[in-house]
Amino acid sequence: QKEVEQNSGPLSVPEGAIASLNCTYSDRGSQSFFWYRQYSGKSPELIMSIYSNGDKEDGRFTAQLNKASQYVSLLIRDSQPSDSATYLCAVNLYYGNNRLAFGKGNQVVVIP
Amino acid sequence: DAGVTQSPTHLIKTRGQHVTLRCSPISGHKSVSWYQQVLGQGPQFIFQYYEKEERGRGNFPDRFSARQFPNYSSELNVNALLLGDSALYLCASSLEPGNQPQHFGDGTRLSIL
């Protein structure tokens, strides 16, 4: 089982719609979870951190965490063409010397 | 405030050579981590340093080494370069290891010919 899994293929959403991204992780002891946005040819940019079960909202972004199900998600409301990027889920592994493990990322394309 | 800075931006080497990549963390950040990212994949953890000591090592061969200096800047060294070492090398800093969010520099794109 991979440490962090993002299985969905490229996601195309019309402008103004909601984009939904999912991520699962294997380390039950993990305590901190992050979403990064990466534009093509650029480095990852931190957009959300979440540490407790439930929802955390920041502008048009909402992160959701369910530790019992080992599941993290990211919602992007009112999607804009500038949101077109790859979104990386990252988990700070408790049993991995607190190193950050990344999923392979999900590409989001917002269609004007 | 300056973010994480990495140098050089791009580098072209040939097989068998060695390379040194440099990173300066955000002011006040004491932990530096190095990652390798190949096309289509998420970043893979190489090393983490905190207060000049290695705090974690990923599944990379001994050709990869790193160190952290008293000013918290860091170097990543790779010896005997292979074609498969071609990748984007990312440095990230955080206040300390653990649950603190990590912020990335722009990376060094290394190409091996």
Question: Are A103 and B103 an interchain contact pair (Cβ–Cβ within 8 Å)?
Answer: no
As a whole number, mean pLDDT of residues A22-29 equals 93
B30-42 tens-digit pLDDT:
999 999 999 999 9
pLDDT over threshold 70, residue A40? yes
As a whole number, mean pLDDT of residues A49-58 equals 96
Give the CA distances from residue B9 to residues A55, B55, B59, B110, in Å, rounded to whole numbers and listed in that order. Answer: 37, 26, 25, 9
* Type and span of the H or E element at A42: none
**Contacting residues of A for B42, CB less than 8 Å apart:** 4, 88, 90, 102-105
From CA A34, how far away is CA A36, in angstroms rounded? 7
**Closest chain B CA to residue A29:** B99
CA atoms within 13 A on the CB side of B87: 21
Per-residue confidence band for A97, with pLDDT thresholds at 50, 70 and 90: low
Question: Are A101 and B92 an interchain contact pair (Cβ–Cβ within 8 Å)?
Answer: no
B102 at interface of A, judged by CB pairs closer than 8 A? yes
The low-confidence residues of chain B, meaning pLDDT below 70, are 1
